[in-house]
Amino acid sequence: MTRQVVVLGAGIVGTAVAEQLGRRAGCSVIVVDRRGPDSLPGSTGHAPGFVGILNDEPTLVELARESVEIYRNLQWRGQAGFDQVGALELATSRAGSERLTVRAQAAATVGIPATLIDPADAVALAPRMVDRQGIVAALHLPWDGAARATVITAALAERAEAAGARFLFGQPVTAIELRGDRIVGVQVGNERLPADDVVVACGIWGPAIADLAGIHLPLVPVVHAYVYSSAHSATRRPSPLVRWPEHNVYMRDDGSRYGLGTSDHAPLIADELADRAELSWPGGEFDDAVAAALKLLPAEHRWSPSEHLGGVLAITPDKMPLLGSLGQVNGLWSAEAIWVTHAAGAAKALVAQMFGEPSAITPLDPGRFTGSSPEDLRRRATARYRDLATRPTGR
């Protein structure tokens, strides 16, 4: 008998799930998204693409490793899905230096190359981003890199379609049909799609979709500060990603311009969600946080933002994904709060769990917050926002 699976959401996570399902015999896959086929209005469309493998949670280390392995082998229309340019983590104080030492020891424990280097060597690797006068220690992580989320999503979609998956764009989900405590279908516009399984991979819109099945997803949509420089010469060699964990700041050179993100501002909750995972730039504290972040750069290489992005992302009370069965409803699965860093690995692990195979994603079980009130979960999530940019999950 054919197993009918409906994946809700065609961003990088939902598309990766569809691609993994396409590898399974006897599985019919339909991916539904209200967006058009040529747009990516969710987090995938504006993700900076920072991929940091090292993490305080071992499960996320493995998902990141798996994701990088998949991304390295993807390309679309001549563009690579992943550039393994490495990353630098910089310390500006003794306490920060001690933290980098702990990080290096943790990396060795899990088999990830990481080297404490002299500040002068960090400057040599990223001279336009590292201020020799401002740092006391640096950690080099050569396996980290930059993912092109839109390229990866397009490449995975091609693979999924080649395996028989069908994509329905421009179609809003209006109902999830249950029979008792089991999924039996999804209403999409005027069409009913029979389903043995439904995977919710809708990013910031996930809670509204899960609510159709009577499920509360503990996700909080927050606005995140990210800015771009004007265009620069692309003749320089690729630079590693740079992170300042003490200051909750990260930066990359994507070859044509710089991008800088900071969460060193009070969390701004996006209570009213639009059709895009982006809100108008709020100014005020966001401007202050960006100005402070830019002062971390060498004085001669500081720049003024030419573009401001108030991207909306979903966070959980422990900053980790909601990955696995939504046990209150048989056949309903969550692939939520997953960033580019872990997307492909998470999809592979989820599909393994769906087919009853061993999958070490228990720490990410969506039911781990059962018993807590929505108000408490919201408070805990926003309290963790400030260090979101650099510790420990990556983007």
Same domain, yes or no: 366 and 225 = no
In a domain, residue 352? The reply is yes
* pLDDT tens-place string over residues 23-53: 999 999 999 999 888 878 678 877 888 999 9
Least confident of 50-54, 242-246, 268-272, 303-307: 268-272
- Which pLDDT value is given to residue 388? 66
Q: What is the pLDDT of residue 236?
A: 65
pLDDT over 90 at 230, yes or no: yes
Please answer whether residues 365 and 218 qualify as being in contact, where contact means their C-beta atoms are separated by less than 8 angstroms.
Answer: no
Specify the CATH number for the domain of residue 257.
3.30.9.10
Both tokens of 39, joined, read 């747009």
pLDDT at 40: 81
Residue 395 maps to a domain: no
How far apart are the C-alpha atoms of 194 and 177, rounded to whole Å?
9
Is 30 part of any domain?
yes
Please report, as a single letter, which amino acid is at residue 195: A
232 in the Ramachandran plot: left (φ > 0), alpha (ψ -120 to 50) or beta? beta
Write down the mean pLDDT value for the chain.
93
Nearest to 264 by CA among 236, 228, 241, 294: 294
Above 80 in pLDDT, residue 60?
Answer: yes
Strands 50-51 and 191-194: unpaired
357 and 330 co-located in one domain? yes
Residue 188: give its domain's CATH number.
3.50.50.60
pLDDT digits (tens, 9 = 90+) for 333-371: 999 999 999 999 999 999 999 999 988 899 999 999 999
In this structure, the answer to whether residues 140 and 243 fall within a common structural domain is yes
User: CA separation (Å) from 251 to 145, 239, 345?
Assistant: 12, 10, 24
Question: What CA–CA distance (Å, rounded) separates 50 from 70?
Answer: 15
The H or E element spanning position 345 is helix 343-354
Q: What percent of the chain has pLDDT over 70?
A: 97
pLDDT at 42: 77
Q: Are residues 141 and 279 in the same domain?
A: yes
| Domain count of the fold of the chain | 2
Can you give the pTM of this predicted structure? 0.95
Query: Is 387 inside any structural domain?
Result: no
Q: Do 135 and 231 have their domain in common?
A: yes
Reported as a single tens digit per residue, the pLDDT across 1-21 is: 899 999 999 999 999 999 999
Of 263, 288, 315, which marks where a domain is finished? 315
Question: Given this model, what pLDDT does residue 394 score?
Answer: 41
Residues 52 and 179 occupy one common structural domain: yes
Q: Which two tokens stand for residue 140?
A: 């080099």
Query: In this model, does residue 395 exceed pLDDT 70?
Result: no
118 located within any domain = yes
Q: Encoding tokens for residue 388? A: 């979101």
- Are 175 and 189 spatial neighbours (Cβ–Cβ below 8 Å)? no
Q: Is residue 163 domain-resident?
A: yes
Does some domain include residue 289?
yes
- Residue 391: pLDDT above 90? no
| Same domain membership, residue 289 and residue 226 | yes
Q: Where are the alpha helices (DSSP H) in 89-200?
A: 94-109, 119-125, 149-162
Instruction: Choose between 93 and 389: higher pLDDT.
Output: 93
Q: In 3D, which of 58, 9, 109 has the Cα closest to residue 360?
A: 58
Contact residues for 60 (Cβ-Cβ < 8 A; gap 6+): 320, 321, 341, 342, 392, 393
Looking at the structure, do residues 185 and 197 belong to the same domain, yes or no?
yes
Whether 59 is in a domain gets the answer: yes
Mark which of 315, 341, 358 sits at the end of a domain.
Answer: 315
Statement to judge: residues 310 and 321 lie in one domain: no
- Residue 125's identity, in one-letter code, is L
- What's the pLDDT at 137? 98
Residue 136 domain boundaries = 83-145+220-315
Name the domain boundary from 315, 336, 366.
Answer: 315
| Same domain, residue pair 227 and 340 | no
CB 263 within 8 A of CB 385: yes
| Res. 234: pLDDT tops 90 | no
pLDDT at 291: 98
State whether 171 and 212 are in the same domain.
Answer: yes
Q: List Cβ neighbours of 296 (8 Å cut-off, separation of 6 or more).
A: 92, 131, 134, 244, 247, 249
Confidence of residue 184 (pLDDT cuts 50, 70, 90): very high
The pLDDT of residue 162? 97
State the amino acid at position 267 in one-letter form.
P
- What are the beta bridge partners of residue 241? 87
Q: Band of the pLDDT at 389, cuts 50, 70, 90?
A: low
DSSP codes joined into one string, 114-127:
-EEE-HHHHHHHST
**Judgement on whether residues 296 and 331 belong to the same structural domain of the protein:** no
- 367-379 confidence digits (pLDDT tens): 999 999 989 999 9
323 and 347 in contact (C-beta within 8 Å)? no
